[in-house]
Amino acid sequence: MSFESYIPSGPIEQKWDNYKAEQKLVNPANKRKYKVIVVGTGLAGSAAAASLAELGYNVSAFTYHDSPRRAHSIAAQGGINAAKNYQNDGDSVWRLFYDTVKGGDFRAREANVYRLAQVSESIIDQCVAQGVPFAREYGGYLSNRSFGGAQVSRTFYARGQTGQQLLIGAYQALSRQIGLGKVTMHNKNEMMDLIVVNGKARGIVTRDLVTGKIESHIADAVLLCTGGYGNVFYLSTNAMNCNVTAAYRAYKKGAFFGNPCYTQIHPTCIPVSGDYQSKLTLMSESLRNDGRIWVPKTQGEARGAAEIPETERDYYLERKYPSFGNLSPRDIASRAAKEACDDGRGVGPGGKGVYLDFADAINRLGQSTIEERYGNLFEMYERITGENPYKVPMRIYPAVHYTMGGLWVDYELMSTIPGLFVLGEANFSDHGANRLGASALMQGLADGYFVIPYTLANYFAKGGIEKIDTSIKEVRDAQQQSTEKIQSLLSINGKRTPTSFHRELGKIMWDKCGMARNEKGLSEALIEIPALREEFWQNLTVPGSGEQLNQSLEVANRVADFLEFSELMVRDAVERRESAGGHFREEYQTPDGEAKRNDEEFSYVAAWEYKGEGSKPELHKEQLEFENVKLATRSYK
């Protein structure tokens, strides 16, 4: 088991170049002899599968969706960052790097972030070449907007559907390779387990969601591009099917899990409306370019927004953080909203909301400009709430959105299991303790288009991958265990539905390991989660069989992993006795309520190792070295 980050030598500007100069390569004629499995076909997975197939590797891609075009990358609205400096406003690779490290509250690995900033420019070029219809100015040049946590305009966008357009671009590149016979696509197939042979990742076990057939697939390397685990909270902005199963089962096979407690709560989501709620809807951060966030100054205000005069409104972000104002980073904006609502000044049903008001922008720019910029978002808001945001301010509240934690990877994006690479949101790599807006799309595509094509070659060229087939014991065992797992879920015959357990788990996590955490709540969660898990295995009911499309079984299989993984998250949150980015421990704050880091003791990546059922996982620490950025208290004032 290797636990070494393998950061290349040299000054930070040259590390990636040095790596590429020194890495081993695979001869073009030999590439087709290597088989690569890609799990997940979002931005990272589609980009990787397409790029590797173009290079000549023999690729098999898997998704539980009915088509690779559906992954949740598609829902990203606002945009993608790149250090193009087309606006002549002072941007550079260095500044994007610096903003990302600072935005991540100094808990990310410098070398990875610098590489991300470097390749960001190529991503835009690649996407334009694929025909991604980015927004343009009248002169025909690419348009940019601003985003939280940055003082330059470096965000490229396609209306409010940037994620969709980037994913369609990657999907089309992947489709081309499928059509050419270079990628074998397996839709409606969910990964059940990772196959490890002689310490190397050598394949996966899958379940066909339509026929129920459980199969093993062998390869020379496995890429997990399976997204984040925000749905551990049940309610989140993630799609309904997002889950931790692939990553968690890899963890149980020996891949370390990095910083599981780092979750991002997005400040601008539509508030919860009732118990039946199945998911939360994000309103893009880009709205904060023109919308002003406020709550009434007085507690328990009964008047509607329009009746509250200007002098009785508290534009709290503008007041507390004058230099970034409404574009303060997500963790800070979310906590400020919680603070206002906890203070009894929230608006809407239950007082769980704040206003996002466009009245000033509409007066200044005219309704047509606002419509042009955000029309589809305003429509979506009206559809969900029945209120017209051109007339009354939107009501928003923070919601779980993204997970910075993920499987631990080294500079080459390889996990602690040789041959298992982890890309995109599924890894822990680039965002530290908090991700800045428009950086997830950038990271997913950077990993898929511009990092893995290099680092995978280096792994293959080192050799030592022996020939195996599906008849060996490790493969048969993994397949047998997956089959038994499905059978056990079907045979409990209890009374409660899989979703009811998921909802209950989500409530524990939101209350005790959500926007603010403390030792007491976390300790309670460590008792409540195992109890709920025990009930799950005694009182679950899943109707139907395992031999056909059975959506309750799919949910049960994923909830079973959330019920274990959540405990790891809480454990990590307990151990991190500091506040950093999205991880806010109430015991560690400054007198004015800001997050208080403890660089002396906690400037490390927490990498957890599975130690078997019933045993405590072991914490390993990767010390973070900041050679280029000076550690400072993050200030947006």
Partner 1 sequence: MNLRLHIWRQTGPSDHGMLRAYNVNNVSEHMSFLEMLDVLNEELIEKGEEPVAFDHDCREGICGTCGMVINGRPHGPLSRTTACQLHMRSFKDGDEIYIEPWRATAFPIVRDLVVDRSAFDRVIQRGGFVSVNTGNAQDGNAIPISKIDADVSMDAAACIGCGACVAACPNSSASLFVAAKIGHLVALPQGKAEAATRAMSMVLSMDAEGFGSCTNHYECEAACPKGISADFIAQMNREFMKSVF
Would the CA dihedral through 284, 287, 292, 296 be positive or negative?
A: negative
Tokens of 201: 């990742």
Residue from 472, 427, 445 nearest 607 by CA: 427
* 240 phi-psi bin (left φ>0, alpha ψ -120 to 50, beta other): alpha
- CA–CA dist 91, 154 (Å, integer): 8
Q: Which stretch binds partner 1 (CB under 8 A): 50-58, 320-328, 405-413, 579-587?
A: 50-58
Contact in structure between 260 and 572 (CB atoms under 8 Å): yes
Q: Residue 87 interacts with partner 1 (CB under 8 A)?
A: no
The SS3 of residue 395 is strand
- CA–CA dist 278, 233 (Å, integer): 11
Q: Residue 300 interacts with partner 1 (CB under 8 A)?
A: no
Residue 8 CB coordination number (10 Å): 19
How many whole angstroms from its chain centre is CA 283? 17
Least Å distance, CB 581 to partner 1, is 25
Residue from 19, 150, 171 nearest 82 by CA: 150
Q: Residue 128 interacts with partner 1 (CB under 8 A)?
A: yes
Q: Residue 244 interacts with partner 1 (CB under 8 A)?
A: no
Sheet strands (E) in 468-515 = none
Query: Burial of 492 by CB count in 10 Å (0-12 exposed, 13-18 middle, 19+ buried)?
Result: middle
Site residues (CB under 8 A) for partner 1, limited to 496-515? 497, 499-500
Tokens of 206: 């899958």
Backbone angles phi, psi at 225, to 5 degrees: -130, 60
Out of 75, 365, 468, 492, the only residue in the binding site for partner 1 (CB under 8 A) is: 75
Alpha-helical regions (H) of 262-329: 316-320
Site residues (CB under 8 A) for partner 1, limited to 195-224? 210
Q: Residue 126 interacts with partner 1 (CB under 8 A)?
A: yes
Between strands 58-62 and 406-407, the pairing is unpaired
Out of 51, 286, 334, 439, the only residue in the binding site for partner 1 (CB under 8 A) is: 51
Sheet strands (E) in 126-226 = 155-156, 183-186, 189-197, 200-208, 214-218, 221-224
Residues 268-287 as x/- pattern, contact with partner 1 by CB under 8 A: -----xx-xxxx-xx-----
Tell me the chain's radius of gyration from C-alpha atoms: 24
Least Å distance, CB 53 to partner 1, is 10
Out of 411, 450, 501, 562, the only residue in the binding site for partner 1 (CB under 8 A) is: 450
- CA–CA dist 163, 76 (Å, integer): 4
Out of 86, 94, 315, 626, the only residue in the binding site for partner 1 (CB under 8 A) is: 86
Q: Residue 366 interacts with partner 1 (CB under 8 A)?
A: no
Q: Which stretch binds partner 1 (CB under 8 A): 129-137, 224-232, 516-524, 566-574?
A: 129-137
Give the sheet arrangement for strand 58-62, strand by strand. 183-186, 58-62, 35-39, 221-224, 420-422
Least Å distance, CB 307 to partner 1, is 24
Least Å distance, CB 504 to partner 1, is 13
Residues 150-189 as x/- pattern, contact with partner 1 by CB under 8 A: --------xx-x-xxx--x--xxx-xx-xx-----x-x--
Out of 57, 324, 397, 449, the only residue in the binding site for partner 1 (CB under 8 A) is: 449
Q: Residue 135 interacts with partner 1 (CB under 8 A)?
A: yes
Number of residues that bind partner 1 (CB under 8 A): 83
Out of 548, 590, 633, 635, the only residue in the binding site for partner 1 (CB under 8 A) is: 548
Q: Residue 368 interacts with partner 1 (CB under 8 A)?
A: no
Contact in structure between 376 and 235 (CB atoms under 8 Å): no
Q: Residue 353 interacts with partner 1 (CB under 8 A)?
A: no
Q: Which stretch binds partner 1 (CB under 8 A): 72-80, 200-208, 305-313, 598-606?
A: 72-80
Q: Residue 125 interacts with partner 1 (CB under 8 A)?
A: yes
Give one DSSP letter per residue of 324-350, joined into a string: TGGG--HHHHHHHHHHHHHTT---SGG
Q: Residue 243 interacts with partner 1 (CB under 8 A)?
A: no
Q: Which is nearer to partner 1, 279 or 596 (CB)?
A: 279
Q: Which is nearer to partner 1, 186 or 576 (CB)?
A: 186
Least Å distance, CB 172 to partner 1, is 4
Q: Which is nearer to partner 1, 108 or 400 (CB)?
A: 400
Q: Which is nearer to partner 1, 199 or 494 (CB)?
A: 494
- CA–CA dist 267, 427 (Å, integer): 23
Angle (CA) 547 548 552, round 5°: 105
Site residues (CB under 8 A) for partner 1, limited to 92-111? none
Q: Residue 17 interacts with partner 1 (CB under 8 A)?
A: no
Q: Report, as residue numbers or ranges, the catalytic residues.
A: 330
Which residue carries 């070659």 as its tokens? Answer: 457
Out of 2, 27, 67, 523, the only residue in the binding site for partner 1 (CB under 8 A) is: 67
Q: Residue 479 interacts with partner 1 (CB under 8 A)?
A: no
Q: Residue 549 interacts with partner 1 (CB under 8 A)?
A: yes
